[in-house]
Amino acid sequence: MYEMTFNPRISEIDIHGNVKVTALMDYLQHIAYKHADQLGVGHHQIFHKGLTWLLLRYTAEITRYPQFDESLRVITWVAESESPKYTIRDFEIMDEENNIICKATTSWLLFNYRKRQPINFMDIWPDFKAVERRALDYDFPGLQLPENIETQKSLKVRLQDLDIQQHVNHISHINWIIEGMPEKIVKKYELEKLEISYKEQGFYEDDILIETEILKEKDNTIQAIHQIVKNKKRQLVSKAVTQWKMQK
């Protein structure tokens, strides 16, 4: 297991005075990168061999959003996977009183970008040892697509959306999902659960369309179904289900 401490910055605060969900996801991305380096399977150790990690699935549950300048303890580990093709990386974020305020689980594929094919991660990680613990009891079920699209928002991929491999960073998808929600919901509600499936890579100046179906409110909670498509062929880039709770 690997641990780091983060202190939110003022630029990471949202309209409600809380740390943005994308900032929390950025902490998880950073600690995953550092932990992979320590394990010898990070970007700098494998990319020159024609290998890279592809994020397939991402699920997060947020119990409480921290506020400016709280000290947050973030832990990550590689959990047991039922398939040698995929690795499972889990996360927890804890506040100063050791309350778990965010849990997340992710699924990754080791990919040979030169041959354009997945490979067994055990081929480069023979001493792999999983932790017998899961942050969330979640087995990555299939996600539905929206049927009755209520909102659409179009945009173009910016340079700022790209990562070190010049693909759209996975956190940009979460930004797009939030941008695709009606303003009245974003102002009155906060995201408490996110399930996203990444299907296709995005590149600079791709035309992106975010389509959202808002389901009925129940017990001060709203669920939404999203799909993100690109260009005229409407290639599916990602699909997601989100749950929002009323701001206190």
Q: How far apart are CA 46 and CA 68, in angstroms?
A: 36
Q: How far apart are CA 93 and CA 111, in angstroms?
A: 28
Contact assessment for residue 196 and residue 57, using Cβ atoms and an 8 Å cutoff: yes
Contact assessment for residue 144 and residue 225, using Cβ atoms and an 8 Å cutoff: yes
Q: How far apart are CA 161 and CA 73, in angstroms?
A: 27
Query: Where do the CATH 3.10.129.10 domains begin and end in the chain?
Result: 2-123, 151-246
Going by pLDDT thresholds of 50, 70 and 90, the confidence category of residue 69 is confident
Residue 221 has pLDDT above 90, yes or no: yes
**Topology adopted by domain 2-123:** Thiol Ester Dehydrase; Chain A (3.10.129)
Strand partners, 236: 229
Looking at residue 135, its amino acid is A
Pick from 149, 203, 215: which is nearest to 172 by CA? 203
**Topology adopted by domain 151-246:** Thiol Ester Dehydrase; Chain A (3.10.129)
Going by pLDDT thresholds of 50, 70 and 90, the confidence category of residue 217 is confident
Q: Tens of pLDDT along 90-118? A: 999 999 999 999 999 999 999 999 999 99
pLDDT of residue 218: 80
Going by pLDDT thresholds of 50, 70 and 90, the confidence category of residue 85 is confident
Q: How far apart are CA 46 and CA 35, in angstroms?
A: 14
Would the CA dihedral through 41, 42, 44, 49 be positive or negative?
positive
Q: Tens of pLDDT along 14-61? A: 999 999 999 999 999 999 999 999 999 999 999 999 999 999 999 999
For the segment 176-187, the average pLDDT, to the nearest whole number, is 96
Q: How far apart are CA 208 and CA 154, in angstroms?
A: 6
